[in-house]
Amino acid sequence: GENVGLHLPTLSVQEGDNSIINCAYSNSASDYFIWYKQESGKGPQFIIDIRSNMDKRQGQRVTVLLNKTVKHLSLQIAATQPGDSAVYFCAENLNSGGGADGLTFGKGTHLIIQP
């Protein structure tokens, strides 16, 4: 779908606390999901991914949860640090079986870590 709107949702978290960023994806046929972090003026940076045959995947300080029933994806960041401040995007990919498809990005959430 089209991403419109001038204001990104904002999540403000105290340094050291855990944060949860949520994302609703649009295509029930999507089978691969990625979380990206984007700092101001830079390209997206890969954080973690998950395939549709899983419902949870853990990385270093990050965990992604996938609920296919309600088409919901979440990113949990443990013990947040000032460097975690950025805009976080979820992205979905449909494996069409033959071609390589681009990603469909969610609207993004601006995470602010307060000292």
Partner 1 sequence: GAVVSQHPSWVICKSGTSVKIECRSLDFQATTMFWYRQFPKQSLMLMATSNEGSKATYEQGVEKDKFLINHASLTLSTLTVTSAHPEDSSFYICSARRAGAQQETQYFGPGTRLLVL
Candidates 13, 19, 44, 80: give the one binding partner 1 (CB under 8 A): 44
Number of helices and strands (H, E) in the chain?
0, 10
Pick from 32, 30, 35, 43: nearest CA to 1: 30
Asked if 52 is part of the footprint of partner 1 (rule: CB under 8 A), the reply reads no
Candidates 77, 85, 108, 111: give the one binding partner 1 (CB under 8 A): 108
Distance CA 101, CA 115 (A): 40
Residue 24, H or E segment? strand 19-24
Candidates 14, 28, 101, 114: give the one binding partner 1 (CB under 8 A): 101
Asked if 3 is part of the footprint of partner 1 (rule: CB under 8 A), the reply reads yes
Asked if 89 is part of the footprint of partner 1 (rule: CB under 8 A), the reply reads yes
Burial zone of 26 (CB within 10 Å; 0-12 exposed, 13-18 middle, 19+ buried)? exposed
Asked if 12 is part of the footprint of partner 1 (rule: CB under 8 A), the reply reads no
Residues at the contact surface with partner 1, assessed by CB under 8 A:
2-8, 31-32, 34, 36, 41-46, 49, 89, 93, 95, 99-108
